[in-house]
Structure 1
Amino acid sequence: MESVASLRGAGALILDGGLATDLEAQGLKLQGDPLWSARLLHSNPQAIRDAHYRFLVSGADVVSTATYQASVNGFVKHLDMSWESAQELMMSGVHLAQEAVQRFVSSNKDTGRGRPLVAGSVGAFGAFLLDGSEYSGAYAEKMSIEELKSWHRPQVGCLVSAGADLVAFETIPSVKEAEALLELLREFPSCRAWLSFSCKDGRSLCDGSLFLEAVRMAHRSSQLVAVGVNCCSPALVKPLLESVSQLRSPALPWVVYPNSGEQWDTLSGWKASGAKVPSVAELSQEWIKQGAAMIGGCCRISPAHIAELRKVLRGNSTSAE
């Protein structure tokens, strides 16, 4: 995409952080909701607009829609709405992000920054199951490629139709689901995307497949703008990129947006991992040397963390209203 290339001309693209993290910091209760932050598309769209805007003001070049745990089927089931209304709600995720971008552009005309992009977030099928299996990928063994494509097709179709600049396939735990997503992407030939995996160690996806195998597969797609990892500890990024260093290519650079390094407990929530984990900002220059061209954060990464990242990568160039 020309817009991606244009923004990358200034250096690595800065992604946003954890949308739910910021929403919870504003006092909104999301934990335990089967739709997670996507429920707010229906119940409190202004909260979503404002969260996107906070990340933009903090320095994000790309904001991802509040649709990671959203699906048309999920909206029909949990919000008791028609299929058509659920499609419209899915598309609203893009529209809200676009409105936040327009507000930012109108209020910050002299920053010298390019127009930020909107990435339509598509999470793993496991996110719909509400059992943590997006961090194992076990469900993929029981599903065919066609079944996985059929599941994801309505979401991708809505995000593309709503005008997302690109699609973010994120927290994908298995090679099989990634293969299904890349096949599905070909049904939308004008669409560009990044593909980001959920990994359990410095060499492997959550399903046990080698990250190297996954990246090799990604290189067969002409529609990807980046491939990489998200929602792992920042400490895992370097070894993961080292494991695929022979596949480093300017045509398909790395996208990395780890979490804070804290650990999630289903009963008590986020807990410190023990040893101090360097921040995304502290490690970002090292990742750039390894070939990363898109860097941001996932769970527990706030607008303040993104501001710190932008200061390291671009100098103190954030702007506020």
Structure 2
Amino acid sequence: MRDLISEDLENKKGLVVDGAMATELEKHGVETNNDLWSATALIKNPEAITAVHKSYFQSGADIAITNTYQANVKKFEELGLSEEKSKNLIVQAVKLAQKARADYFDALPKAERQKRAPHPLVAGSVGPYGAYLADGSEYRGDYDLTQTQYQDFHRQRMQLLDSAGVDLFAFETQPNFEEAKALVDLLVKEFPEQHAWLSFSIKDTETLCDGTSLFEAVHYFDEVKQLSAIGVNCTTLENIEETVKNIRSVTDKNIIVYPNNGDIYDPNTKTWQNNPQADTFSDLVPKWLEAGADLIGGCCRTTPEDIQQVSEIVNC
């Protein structure tokens, strides 16, 4: 049971995670303002997904996150797809990321591949139950299922991602402590050869969206060996430095952060407002590294240009 994240960090001060998928897919003409969000492209334009993944590798990303955050068999079936087709779409999402990695990495000259080490990873995105609801619940965490119900919801997607060959799982934008516990329990009991990172959705620098103390949540998972990293994503740039310090105060695990780009989101209309006054990744990444972050990327509205900024600082 290899911890690829920790192995890759042995000779680097940090790893670079990729950026937003939906923002880039929109540039390819994919409409994402619907219940499937970026997963729409799995049906409408899979080639665009490969192109987006490749653009992030070219910008210096060490890890690609599969386009499965809002993709699950139940939602696909609700939209009229067969079970077989729905399963195939999730497997396809992994294959598209793997193809982008191969197209990029294998085309590099040998010297460049050695310089580019470690070999890029593909993380299988496991979004929260709130993403399936498609009503902004991933920013509230105000839903209440049993552990069995959470696990029954997540199991099939994790099985498909695992069978398709992801290097690890990305439990991301998790707003609900009980759901996070159910996910990690499922990881340990049913996927003993896999690792994952766990990235919370937070209300503020000390609190998960459901009101749970961030300190309590991080401490709870501190001894789970299959968790390669703990952190936050899909929050503001301004939240990151203090949040990293808070996480570091209760764990020695690797810390992962991938915030939004500074634009302002309305979860009711699912629209964004540009914020030209937002700080840049170049301004903030050095502070995050100093605070204790180990893996840094971008979430909503971030671009390959943002990830290139991260890469230049992490690899300088």
Same fold per superposition (TM over 0.5) = yes
2:214 to 211, 216, 219: 211
Name the structure 1 match of 2:52.
51
Question: Within 2, Cα distance between the matches of 1:119 and 1:21?
Answer: 19
Name the counterpart of 2:37. 36
- Identify if the C-alpha distance between structure 1 residues 272 and 150 changes in structure 2 by more than 3 Å, giving closer, same or farther: same
Q: Shift of residue 108 of structure 1? A: 1.7
- The aligned counterpart of 1:83 is 83
1:71-99 CA distance string (max 9 Å, x none): 01111122x22222211211111111000
Is contact 1:262-1:273 (8 Å) kept?
Answer: yes
| 8 Å Cα contact 1:248/1:291 also seen in 2 | no
**Amino acid corresponding to residue 36 of structure 2 in structure 1:** L
Q: For 1:14 and 1:232, locate their aligned partners in 2 and report how far apart those are by CA, in whole Å.
A: 17
Worse overlay, 179-188 or 284-293: 284-293
Amino acid at match of 1:254: I
Matched residue count: 308
Question: Corresponding residue for 1:192?
Answer: 195
2:171 partner amino acid: F
Secondary structure (helix, strand or coil) at the match of 1:292 reads coil
Alignment of 1:1-321 (within 5 A): 1=2, 3-8=4-9, 9-31=11-33, 33-78=34-79, 80-109=80-109, 110-111=111-112, 112-114=115-117, 115-139=119-143, 141=144, 143-186=145-188, 187-249=190-252, 252-265=253-266, 266-267=268-269, 269-272=271-274, 276-315=277-316
Name the % identity.
39
**Per-residue deviation, 1:101:** 0.3
Give the deviation of 1:25 after TM superposition: 2.4
Question: What TM-score do the two structures reach when normalised by structure 1?
Answer: 0.92
1:72 and 1:86 in contact (8 A); partners too: yes
Evaluate the alpha carbon distance shift between residue 75 and residue 264 of structure 1 in structure 2; reply closer, same or farther with a 3 A threshold: same
Q: Secondary structure at the match of 1:244?
A: helix
SS in 2 for 1:107: coil
Structure 1 counterpart of 2:57, one-letter code? L
Matched residues in 2 for 1:254 and 1:2: separation? Answer: 14
The aligned amino acid for 1:171 is T
For 2:256 and 2:282, how far apart are their aligned partners in 1? 15
Distance in 2, matches of 1:53 and 1:96, equals 10
Q: Distance in 2 between matches of 1:163 and 1:282?
A: 36
What is the letter of the counterpart of residue 239 of structure 2?
A: L
Contact 1:137 1:207 in 2 (8 A): yes
By how many angstroms is 1:13 displaced?
Answer: 0.6
Question: C-alpha root-mean-square deviation of aligned residues, in Å?
Answer: 1.5
Equivalent residues of 2:124, 2:169 under 8 A apart? yes
Q: Is the 8 A contact 2:218 2:251 kept in 1?
A: no
Q: Could you tell me the TM-score, scaled by structure 2's length?
A: 0.93
Q: Which residue of 2 aligns with 1:319?
A: none
| Per-residue Cα deviation, 1:244-285 (whole angstroms, up to 9, x for no partner) | 332231xx11100000122212337112468x3322332112
Runs of 4+ in structure 1 off by over 4 angstroms are none
Unaligned runs of 5+ in 2: none
Q: Distance in 2 between matches of 1:281 and 1:197?
A: 23
Give the conservation status (yes or no) of the 8 Å contact 2:202–2:235: yes
Q: CA deviation at 1:2?
A: 5.0
Query: 2-side partners of 1:129 and 1:245: how far apart?
Result: 32
Task: Tell me how far apart the structure 2 counterparts of residues 244 and 229 of structure 1 sit (CA, whole Å).
Answer: 10
Structure 2 distance, partners of 1:283, 1:248, is 22
Change beyond 3 A, Cα 1:268–1:61: closer
Residue 69 of structure 1 aligns with an amino acid whose one-letter code is Q
